[in-house]
């Protein structure tokens, strides 16, 4: 029996979507679905929900929860990862509250910025533990990473973990449909191309019947900017740099030095930037789960419709050799020629029986590559810090971060890093 292992199965709704998709896919019937999480209660709840879906979908997949991670991984052909190390309390709270003491505000803090940096530092050691287990008990497995910070963690698993890994993000497949919906344009039949890095990939082309749609996109976007809306940061970046970006405005507000500035508080209002957005989402999700739990866990008639998540389509393409295209995060083996070869990039990939095959993009427009490199700098220094254990590289990563360095002095950045290291305590390894 082939095996799909889901690590972080206590992410119950996400596990329901990914594994519910698997049970809806004919080519994936008969697989064992192995569940693992360090939270026994959430693991049991996810197991029960999936057993409910197995019944209503008439799936022949076998659902099994494991208390031992290595046994959950043993013999797996595919591994799906959706962990969050440290959770909302205490680690996300720490990532937001200590920077506030220095006047540094954030929106999401899960990718770059000071919050993304420390999320990486506490997650990388855990991921490398996974890698050691995988190399021992399922060395040929394909690792599908959904955990942020996406680019760094996917990079580490490939480069230092020795695990065949592709990173998957929702922002690619929803980018063009959401943009066109907001601009009241019809996306039917539109050809498009997206490439860059995770959360900062670019809609490089959008055309229909040979006609370039970018002039009309920009005209409508400029009109939208005259009134407040949810996507003002991305539209502003497009109007200044020429191309639309994949990830949301609340994310991109903190990836650049232009939008969240203490000395220009009017920018927050002007661009409708939701400071402290991720902690609000966490609180709402925690409260929402209290009421959602009963309806999902105890509903023996629970049903599921296949979602737009890539995982089941990737597995189906490999199992059937029917090709499927994704936007995947992979190492830059000459794919984007004006970004560093050490970087993890997000590019179109073909999936079939050969696995995930990235496609060649070439040079990005120079201004886009330059913006990507500002985030890649911090990503690569974060990896250096995690792999070498050198505290100085934590400082380097923070000093090079666009938003952090635009707001704080060098001395304050170093002091902030020291405070965060102390506050995280045992969530981090020791840095020398």
Detail the residues annotated as belonging to a binding site for Mn(2+): 169, 199
229 is catalytic: no
Q: Residue 415: left (phi > 0), alpha (psi -120 to 50), or beta?
A: alpha
Contact criterion met (CB below 8 Å) for 431 and 414: no
Kindly report the number of other CB atoms within 10 A of residue 40's CB atom.
Answer: 11
Contact criterion met (CB below 8 Å) for 83 and 126: yes
Contact criterion met (CB below 8 Å) for 22 and 33: yes
Summarize the annotated binding site for substrate as residue ranges.
148
Instruction: State the DSSP string of 86-129.
Output: SIIIIIIHHHHHHHHHTT---S--SSSHHHHHHHHHHHHHHHHH
Distances (CA, A) of 392 to 289, 409, 413: 40, 16, 12
Burial of 248 (0-12, 13-18, 19+ CB in 10 A): buried
Closest CA to 108 of 144, 81, 148, 146: 148
Q: How far apart are CA 196 and CA 72, in angstroms?
A: 34
- In the structure encoding, which two tokens stand for residue 402, read together? 């666009």
Contact criterion met (CB below 8 Å) for 223 and 350: no
Q: How far apart are CA 58 and CA 74, in angstroms?
A: 26
> Of these residues, 170, 251, 396, 424, which one is catalytic?
170
Cα-trace Rg, the chain: 21
- Reduce the DSSP state of residue 142 to 3 states and report it: strand
Q: How far apart are CA 221 and CA 238, in angstroms?
A: 9
Summarize the annotated binding site as residue ranges.
148, 169, 199
Instruction: State the DSSP string of 179-248.
Output: HHHHTT---TT-EEEEEEETTEEEEEEEEETTEE-HHHHHHHHHHHTTS--TTHHHHHHHHHHSSEESS-
Q: How far apart are CA 90 and CA 12, in angstroms?
A: 20
Kindly report the number of other CB atoms within 10 A of residue 360's CB atom.
Answer: 12
- The residues, ordered by sequence, that sit 6+ positions from 83 with a Cβ below 8 Å of its Cβ are 7, 8, 11, 123, 126, 147
Q: Annotated catalytic sites, by residue?
A: 170
């Amino acid at each position: 029996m082939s095996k799909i292992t889901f690590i972080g199965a206590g992410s119950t709704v996400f596990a329901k979507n990914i594994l519910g998709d698997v049970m809806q896919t004919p080519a994936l019937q008969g697989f064992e679905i192995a569940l693992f999480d360090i939270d026994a209660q959430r693991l049991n709840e996810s197991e029960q929900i999936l057993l409910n879906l197995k019944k209503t979908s008439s799936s022949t997949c076998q659902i099994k929860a494991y208390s031992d991670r290595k046994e959950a991984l043993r013999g797996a052909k595919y591994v799906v990862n959706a962990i969050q190390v440290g959770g909302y309390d205490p680690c996300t709270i720490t990532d937001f509250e200590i920077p506030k003491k220095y006047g540094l505000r954030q929106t999401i803090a899960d990718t770059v910025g000071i919050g993304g940096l420390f999320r990486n530092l506490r997650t990388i050691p855990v991921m490398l533990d996974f890698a050691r287990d995988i190399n021992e008990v399922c060395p040929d497995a394909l690792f599908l990473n959904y955990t942020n910070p996406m680019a760094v963690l996917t990079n580490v698993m490939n480069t230092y973990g020795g695990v065949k890994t592709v990173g998957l993000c929702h922002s690619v497949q929803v980018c063009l449909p959401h943009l066109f919906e907001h601009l009241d344009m019809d996306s039917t039949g539109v050809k498009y191309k997206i490439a860059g890095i995770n959360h900062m990939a670019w809609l490089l082309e959008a055309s229909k019947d040979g006609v370039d749609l970018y002039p009309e996109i920009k005209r409508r976007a400029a009109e939208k900017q005259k009134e407040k809306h949810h996507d003002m940061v991305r539209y502003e970046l497009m109007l200044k740099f020429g191309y639309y970006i994949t990830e949301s405005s609340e994310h991109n507000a903190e990836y650049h030095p232009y939008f969240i500035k203490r000395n220009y508080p009017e920018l927050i209002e002007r661009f409708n930037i939701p400071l402290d957005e991720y902690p609000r989402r966490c609180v709402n999700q925690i409260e929402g789960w209290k009421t959602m739990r009963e309806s999902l866990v105890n509903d023996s008639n629970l049903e599921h419709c296949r979602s737009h998540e890539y995982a089941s389509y990737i597995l189906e393409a490999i199992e059937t050799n029917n090709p499927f295209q994704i936007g995947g995060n992979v190492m830059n083996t000459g794919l984007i020629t004006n970004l560093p070869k050490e970087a993890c990039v997000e590019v179109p990939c073909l999936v079939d029986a050969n696995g995930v095959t990235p496609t060649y993009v070439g040079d990005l427009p120079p201004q886009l590559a330059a913006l990507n490199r500002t985030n890649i700098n911090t990503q690569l220094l974060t990896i250096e810090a995690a792999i070498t254990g050198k505290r100085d590289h934590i400082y380097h990563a923070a000093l090079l971060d666009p938003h952090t360095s635009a707001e704080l002095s060098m001395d304050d950045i170093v002091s902030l890093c020291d405070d965060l290291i102390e506050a995280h305590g045992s969530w981090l390894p020791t840095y020398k």
